[in-house]
Amino acid sequence: MQYTYNLDNSCETIYIESLFYKDAKNTMKQSHYHDFYELYFYRGDAMTYYIGSTAYAVEKYDLIFINRGTLHRTSYPNGMKERTLVMFRPAFFDILRETTPVDALLTRLAKTPVMRFRPDIRERLRIAFADLAALYGEGADISVPLQIQLLHILQSVCQYIDSGFLLGVPEAPPRKTHAVPDIVSYINTHYNEAITLDTLSSRFFIDKYYLCHAFKKMTGETVTGYLNKKRLTEAKKLLLSADYPISEIFQLVGFQSQNHFNARFKELFGKTPSEIRRQRKA
């Protein structure tokens, strides 16, 4: 079964899926991001997980935490995908937020996106995620028990980290794309400035044609596509959190034309900037 569920397109606050299948082409070609958190407990063989500009060599029973708005993608060399995936919105913990430090736990986990623990802790996590998936599968009214179970996992993982049970996770062996991580970092920091292939080529001393090839090979996206996605992501944040008019926001994030901004925004999010702004005021 192929994974096609998208929490962004639903009114749910949590979705859990345990998956096992083999597909010779089981690799995400493009990085993507979403406006919810993701816990990814891997149960298969070695694979590569790309988070931002870093590629991690992931092994069986590693735990990955994807923060909201973080670009990421996966690559399974042997085509085998086996994992438990937990996607949840901030609103999922609304009932518990006033009595537990949910936001502090999520902030803590965001600092260590890929976690590898000693064997006994891995077994505890395997059981905990199996129980969580089983509880979710019961359906009916399980919202509160599900919140308590997931909160327990988050608290336990943070305790494991603070207790020194965390092992190092190596970055994946580099390919001939040595400049790409620096370019991604530069774009993430300077997205609101005028950035072209020529300026990147000059700044990083790399032929722009090789740059395009290397960037696409490592990130799955073109330089322009990545830049636009970053700008649009930041624009959405401003629409939901700041009072700038839309006529200023498109310039603040680096677009030169509001019509182009509006078209790309709707293409990416399925809604116009005005519709996103109205969500904040609702």
d(CA 218, CA 29): 10
Which stretch of DSSP H or E encloses residue 131?
A: helix 119-137
Give the pLDDT confidence score for residue 282 in this predicted structure.
55
| pLDDT tens track for 226-239 | 999 999 999 999 99
Q: What are the pLDDT digits (tens) for 162-173?
A: 999 999 877 766
HEC string of 242-261? Answer: CCCCHHHHHHHCCCCCHHHH
184: Cα within 13 Å, side-chain hemisphere? 25
- Which parts of the chain register pLDDT below 50? 1-4, 24, 176
- For the chain, the domains span 7-167, 180-281
Global pTM value? 0.64
pLDDT for the residue 259: 94
What is the structure's pLDDT at 118? 94
* CATH node for 180-281: 1.10.10.60
Based on C-alpha coordinates, what's the Rg of the chain? 20
pLDDT of the residue at 22: 58
Percent of the chain with pLDDT over 90: 52
Tell the residue number behind the tokens 């060599």, with chain if given: 57
**What is the structure's pLDDT at 92?**
92
Predicted pLDDT of residue 3: 40
CATH for 7-167 (1.10.10.60, 3.30.1240.10, 2.60.120.810, 3.40.1360.10): 2.60.120.810
Report pLDDT for 239: 92
